[in-house]
Amino acid sequence: METTERGRTTELFESLGGTVADGFPAIHSPVYRTGTGTAYLKAPGVVMLSKPQVNVRGLGDFLEGFDPELGFPAYIDDPTELPDSSQLCKTAGQLCYASFGPRRTTNENAAAYFERLTSAGHGSVLEHASFSFLLYGISRSVTHELVRHRAGVGISQVSQRYVSGSVLRFVERPEYQDDGELHRLFEERVDRAAAEYEEMAGRLLERQERGEALLDAEYRTDARKKVQQTSRSLLPNETEAPMMFTGNVRALRHIVEMRADEHAESEIRTLAVRLFLCLVRTDPILFGDYQLQSLPDGTHKVTTKYRKA
């Protein structure tokens, strides 16, 4: 990644309140409340919780098992340190050609190595490195789109069937935030949704506890679950639906390319840009071919010459 581009991504990361703790980046999102106390968020929160950890020296015995004249053991003594995710994918790629000797591409030239792979569409080695994120401050509208990305990802999403209204929060779309009237209508709407949910849940539970077989629940826990699964039918698409999202680099690149595009829906584009900022902060080599660009509405998009690697 060029110095100018790195500076641009760093500037945006920091302007959004991005932080890095023990090598794990995060962009948190504050919680707001309506006048009656209904909680809502205005932007996605993205927290990296897991990333690769590589032990290149573990190759030692394997490399020493070849003809000494090949010079393979020197592979583990490369003086240039790479991000673990880059190191893992580079080692995987070089294993394909037993490229461990002195004529190999060294770590110093790793960026050029990955550029050759991505430009040729040879992205399979990128599937070895995975990252896990907590995504919150995202609405049901966003998650309905995000869960369509299945190849190379793992998703665990909050179940509004199993959680109570005590953790109910909502998400305000960007279009409402700078318009006083739209913002007022949003707050009124989520206040009403939260109140109707609680009223419905309370009424259903009350009838169940009186012994009415309204929800056909045998035990109290089962009753609460069935109350919640019925009450959730009232919740709008603006309801927050946090998830744990894990993806390999190839899959994450595809998501960034599709969802951080200027033609993507605005809410999911905001999420994808923040996801990219955390990824490039962690590994500027595997995500170094991307460029961050401003859009007329003040938001951003992410582009690359090497799509669909």
pLDDT in tens, 23-49: 999 999 999 999 999 999 999 999 999
Give the separation between CA 57 and CA 67, rounded to whole angstroms: 18
Q: Which neighbouring-strand residues pair with 113?
A: none
Contacts of 59 (CB under 8 A, 6+ apart): 75, 76, 91
Residues 240 and 138 sit within 8 Å (Cβ to Cβ) = yes
Structural domains in the chain? 1-51+130-158+241-309 (3.30.70.3180), 56-127 (no CATH), 175-237 (no CATH)
- Residue 151, classed as helix, strand or coil, is coil
Q: In a 10 Å sphere around its CB, with 0-12 CB exposed, 13-18 middle and 19+ buried, how is residue 46 labelled?
A: buried
Catalytic center residues: 259
Q: In a 10 Å sphere around its CB, with 0-12 CB exposed, 13-18 middle and 19+ buried, how is residue 145 labelled?
A: middle
pLDDT single digits (tens) 174-233? 999 999 999 999 999 999 999 988 888 778 777 777 766 555 555 555 666 666 666 677
What is the pLDDT at residue 8?
A: 92
- Residues above pLDDT 90, as percent of the chain: 78
pLDDT single digits (tens) 234-273? 789 999 999 999 999 999 999 999 999 999 999 999 999 9
- Residue 36, classed as helix, strand or coil, is coil
Mean pLDDT (the chain) is 92
What is the pLDDT at residue 62?
A: 98
Residues 286 and 86 sit within 8 Å (Cβ to Cβ) = yes
* Rg of the chain, C-alpha, whole Å: 24
Give the separation between CA 188 and CA 211, rounded to whole angstroms: 35
Type of residue numbered 53? Q
